[in-house]
Chains A and B, each alone.
Chain A
Amino acid sequence: MKTSTSIPSEGVSEADPAKRDPVNHEPAVRPGRLQGLRGHLERAGMLLVLALLVIVFAVNQPAFLNIDNLFSILQAVSIVALLGIGVTVTLAAGGFDLSVGSVAASAQMAASYVLIVWHGNAFEAVVACLALGIAAGLFNGFLITRLRVPDQLATLGTLFLLAGLQLIPTGGRSLATGTILPDGTETTGIFSDAFLALGRLRLFDVVPLPVVVLAVLTIVACIVMETTRWGRVIYAIGGNETAARLAGAPTARYRIAAYVASGAIASLGGVLIAARVGRGDVSAGHSMLLDAVAAALVGYAVWGAKRPNVFGTVVGAVFVGVLLNGLTMLNAPYYMQDFIKGVLLVGALAFTFSVGRGTENQA
């Protein structure tokens, strides 16, 4: 327990609100017309840019607006967006889950192992994946709330742990029917059609199943985070954990829950990867962490939220997908992709943090 450290000097508390809240507050200020316009731009800016991009791509390459192309963009970003939702929930709780990529990668290997080595069915494979994701979340939560390891370091540790762990059962080899295991046996199981359908089926022959999963999870996560008391407590912990605890919130439990949710969602992403690729790929999933984090951070700029939010994260992921797909159609070389993502992320962050400050100073 900390010793009491009240602040005796006058003037400190008055200065505090301004210092701690570098974000503008419209209700108190009556914005002029210019500032009103500015506020609208701030909220709708990212969406406007997205719309503009779609128009530019559509004009230059009419095939861009092809319904199949649009859904292939969504399918391409669905897993990154899912992982981003997990990252967003942990960011909202004042943490940061860096292990989502590894959780997805190891869940993908776990699904393959259940199917190919243990001859499990699709249901068992999915359950095993979710169990792995929940276990990873509990492990992160344990490190963070019980052993008091800082969030980023704990999840960075889990990242390495899982990335290494998934290589051990197969001796570092990718897993498909016929793979020779380290003990010399040849695997005989197969990816059942039911499991492959998770990644390849199209609802009404149009909407890929991963996109449906993403849509459902986005809606559920938005409702929980924005309209229930559970979401409130999570944001409260992220804003001021002491205040949340002194107001009676079981903060440790909520933080663990945030990591469990993140782990479970990431493992679901792993299932979708395995179902699409059709084998256990040792190199799949790892690159997704940075994309997911970027989506969550770009999400800060969507609708002027300036905070982690699920809707923004999904928009951020779609934004990246549209940009890459459109530029590829316009024959931009593939090696430009990371650079473009970087430009987008830096731009969005600068927008989030500098534009808000600008209006605050004027107010």
Chain B
Amino acid sequence: MGGYDGRSFATSAAWRASSSMTAPVLTVAAVSKRFGPTVALDRVDLSIRAGEVVALMGANGAGKSTLVKILSGVYRPDAGDLLLCRQPFRPASPHDAKQLGIATVHQSIADAVVPTLSIADNLLLDRLCDPASPWRVPPAVRRHAAAPLAARVGLNVDLAAPLASLSLAAQQLVTLARALATRPALLILDEPTASLSAPEAERLFGLIDRLRAEGVAILLVSHRLGDLRRVAERVTIVRDGRIVADLPAPIDFDAAVETMIGRPLRSQAAANVATVATAAAATPAVPFFSVRDLQLTPSSIPFDLDVQRGEIVAIAGPVGGGKSRFARAIFGAGRATSGVMTLDGQPWRPRSPADAIRAGVFLAGEDRWRTSLFPDSVPFASIAGTLSFPFLARWFKYGGLRRARERRAALDAIERFGIRCTGPDDRLNSLSGGNQQKVVLARWHTQPARLLLLDEPFQGVDAGARADIVDTLRRHAQERATLVFVSDLEEAFEIADRVVRFDRATLDRVSQSNFTSHARS
């Protein structure tokens, strides 16, 4: 085992012993990165001291991931210098970065573990995959080698058990233990609490506190203000590829969010609210769509929500916070544990998406190529075919298709949404990302909706197309209730009349009132 930790252990540990805790572990100096014409990072400076927890905040596309990828050895910077423990840091690969002393725990646990292998093997995965490792390591030796790694993160389980037997939180501890195996000087945690419950997250924070005491520098990427409040000593905000603010604790999170999205929180939503306020005055007290004591998972807290006709409500919360689960429960594609939903005075209990679509409840799913669009091998993966698909049974009762009907609907949608294309028969994969997304949204405007659910409607859409989409959605919102599920606060405030915070499969009461008051003021 001794030779394995190699130079990283030698450099970082020796360095930690010899230097004071205040010198920076990592220094990023004027680092830039371009992808073709887009500048992803523009002369970014950043430094992290030993034992410090720095949070990195930024909207989608601000450059967070690019910075993280440069630090973890995925990308090489175009310009600028990186220093790790006062040594120039130029990793050739993620593996190299790890050996040099920067370990990264990515958000997706599924990509980092092998569920069918034992926990011990998962902990030693890097070592087992190392070509220099011995060709045969007996199971007992493996368990023995894995034990200290598990102990370091407080993972107290049978290491011979298959990884799949662990909870998601424990699996994450395994990935964390693996990252710590090389004794990194800097640990990068990317949305580490995304799939954790509150007590599990707290356990993780305890571990972060211990690592901090050991002198490990930690860079935390998170959208959860609660997390940041709990562990971050400093918040660095990235916008448009630049570091725009560096706020020390105690952190003013309203200011942080405003800096992040680049304008005051209240403006857009307040403007939106003005138009609805007049409408709301006329509407009866009974909400159009309401949710009572809805418990999404057996362990989540029940919540209530009311939405008026004509209103657009943004359900904003971090990735993995259960937004999509909520959307699927309303759409009949998933089940809630308990609770009641009411739509237009009637109990709402859809048994399937088909049920929901028949009743005028539509869901435009997140990640369009996974949930909405068909690959090009499917003969009708054109604009017309994509738009008409959910309504085939409604339009063509006897089975035979009439292209003219589909083309008419497609031409109408192309005009209403300003889809840039040559005609209704254009293949979906010949369109740009923004136009593909417009097709997905246009599909659910082909027939009138009573309740429209949009899950991450701006995913992979540039700012121009986003403005178009927001315009069109707001124009058609009057006759229905609209729920928009987004992880990006900027997007939430851009589209919605009202923004509510959603996390851990429930409405976050505290921030709900906060954000609502912003919106109303």
A interface, CB within 8 angstroms of B: 1, 3-14, 16-18, 20-21, 23, 25, 27-29, 226-230, 232-233, 235-236, 238-240, 242-250, 306-307
| Contact yes or no, B433 A4, CB < 8 A | no
Q: Contacting A229 at CB < 8 Å: which of B35, B195, B401, B429?
A: B401
Among the interface residues B324, B385, B396, B427, which one has the most CB atoms of the partner chain A within 10 A? B427
Interchain CB contact under 8 A, B430 and A8: no
CB distance from A193 to the nearest CB of B (A): 38
Q: State A230–B400 Cα separation when bound (angstroms).
A: 9
Q: Is the CB of A21 within 8 A of B376?
A: yes
In whole Å, how far is B356's beta carbon from the nearest beta carbon of chain A? 8
Q: Is the CB of A229 within 8 A of B393?
A: yes
Contact A17 B429 (CB under 8 A): yes
**CB of B333 closer than 8 Å to a CB of A:** yes
B290 within 8 A of A: no
Q: Is the CB of B375 within 8 A of A240?
A: yes
Q: Are A233 and B320 in contact (CB under 8 A)?
A: no
Complex contact A25–B429 (CB within 8 A):
yes
Please name all residues of chain A whose beta carbon is closer than 8 Å to the beta carbon of B191 when the two chains form the complex: 8
Return the contact of A13 from the options B363, B369, B377 (Cβ within 8 A): B369
Question: Are A21 and B375 neighbours in the complex by a CB distance under 8 Å?
Answer: yes
Given contacts A5-B110, A25-B427, 13 further A-B contacts (CB under 8 A): A3-B325, A8-B107, A8-B319, A17-B429, A25-B429, A27-B422, A228-B400, A232-B385, A232-B401, A236-B389, A244-B374, A248-B357, A307-B377
**Pairwise interchain contact B459-A227, C-beta atoms closer than 8 A:** no
Instruction: Check if B136 is an interface residue, CB within 8 A of chain A.
Output: no
Contact among A9, A11, A16, A239 for B381, CB-based, below 8 A: A239
Q: Is the CB of B433 within 8 A of A14?
A: yes
Q: Which residue of B lies closest to A245 (CB)?
A: B353
Residue of B352, B396, B429, B433 touching A250 (CB-CB under 8 A)? B352
Q: Are B354 and A250 in contact (CB under 8 A)?
A: yes
Once bound together, how far apart are the Cα atoms of A347 and B68, in whole Å?
Answer: 46
Q: Tell me if B365 counts as interface (CB < 8 A to partner A).
A: yes
Q: Hey, which chain B residues are within 8 Å of A20, CB to CB?
A: 369, 375-376, 429
B425 at the interface (CB under 8 A from A): yes
State the CA gap A244–B389 with chains docked (Å): 8
What separation, in Å, do the CA atoms of A17 and B107 have in the docked complex? 23
B428 at the interface (CB under 8 A from A): yes
Q: A233, B335: Cβ atoms under 8 Å?
A: no
User: Taking A8-B60, A21-B429, A27-B430 as contacts, is the C-beta distance between A239 and B334 under 8 angstroms?
Assistant: no
Chain A minimum-CB-distance residue to B443: A247
Does B242 touch A at the CB level, under 8 Å?
A: no
Q: Which residues of B contact A243 (CB under 8 A)?
A: 365, 370-374
- Indicate if the CB atoms of A239 and B335 lie closer than 8 Å: no
From 318 to 348 in chain B, residues with beta carbon under 8 angstroms from any chain A beta carbon are 319-325, 328, 331, 333-335
Q: Report yes or no: A6 in contact with B459, Cβ–Cβ below 8 A.
A: yes
| Pairs A-B, 6 closest by C-beta atoms | A13-B460, A28-B430, A4-B324, A239-B378, A21-B376, A229-B392
Which residues from 389 to 444 on chain B have a C-beta closer than 8 Å to any C-beta of chain A? 389-390, 392-393, 396, 399-401, 422, 425-430, 433, 436
- Contact A240 B368, beta carbon cutoff 8 Å: no
Q: B227 at the A/B interface (Cβ < 8 Å)?
A: no
Residue of B nearest to A228 (CB): B399
B430, A248: Cβ atoms closer than 8 Å: no
Q: What are 16 of the A-B contact pairs (CB < 8 Å)? A: A4-B322, A5-B110, A7-B366, A10-B460, A11-B65, A17-B433, A18-B429, A27-B430, A230-B399, A232-B380, A235-B379, A236-B374, A243-B371, A246-B331, A246-B363, A248-B354
The residue on B at minimum CB distance from A1 is B334
**Whole-angstrom distance between the alpha carbons of A232 and B386 in the complex?**
11
Count residues of B near A (Cβ-Cβ below 8 Å). Answer: 69
Q: Which of A11, A27, A240 contacts B425 (CB 8 A)?
A: A27
B392 contacts A232, C-beta separation under 8 Å? yes
- Whether the pair A232, B427 counts as a contact (CB closer than 8 A) is no
Please tell me if the beta carbons of B400 and A28 are within 8 angstroms of each other in the complex: no
Contact assessment for B354 and A1 in the assembled complex, using a CB-CB cutoff below 8 Å: no
User: B: which residues have CB within 8 A of A?
Assistant: 35, 60-61, 65, 107-108, 110, 168, 191, 195, 319-325, 328, 331, 333-335, 352-354, 356-358, 363, 365-381, 385, 389-390, 392-393, 396, 399-401, 422, 425-430, 433, 436, 455-456, 459-460, 487
Whether A28 touches B426, Cβ cut-off 8 Å, given contacts A8-B191, A235-B378, A239-B378, is yes
- From the candidates B35, B60, B374, B393, name the one contacting A239 in the complex (CB within 8 A): B374
Tell me if B426 and A27 are in contact (CB < 8 A): yes
Cα(A238)–Cα(B377), bound, Å:
9
B392 with A233: CB separation less than 8 A: yes
Which A residues touch B65, using CB under 8 A?
A: 9-11
Closest to B356 in A: A248
Residues of B within 8 A of A247 (CB): 353, 357, 372, 389-390
**Nearest CB on B from A37, distance (A):** 21
Kindly provide the distance from the CB of B273 to the nearest chain A CB, expressed in whole angstroms. 27
B430 and A25 contacting across the interface, CB-CB below 8 Å: yes
Q: Is the Cβ of A248 less than 8 Å from the Cβ of B325?
A: no
Contact A3 B320 (CB under 8 A): yes
| Bound Cα distance A36, B371 (Å) | 34
Tell whether, in the assembled complex, residue B335 and residue A248 are in contact, meaning their CB atoms are under 8 Å apart.
Answer: no
Which residue of chain A has the shortest Cβ distance to B425 in the bound complex? A27
Docked pose: A238 CA to B378 CA in angstroms = 8
A17 close to B436 (CB less than 8 A): yes
Bound: A236/B379 CA distance, A: 9
- Chain A CB within 10 A, most for which of B60, B322, B370, B400: B370
In the complex, which residues of chain B have a beta carbon less than 8 angstroms from the beta carbon of A16? 369, 460
Pick the residue among A8, A11, A23, A227 that contacts B487 (CB under 8 A): A8
- Which residues of the other chain, B, contact A233 by a CB distance below 8 angstroms? 392
Partner of A23, one of B366, B367, B377: B377
Chain B residues with CB below 8 A from A7, complex form: 366-367, 459
Is the Cβ of A17 less than 8 Å from the Cβ of B399? no
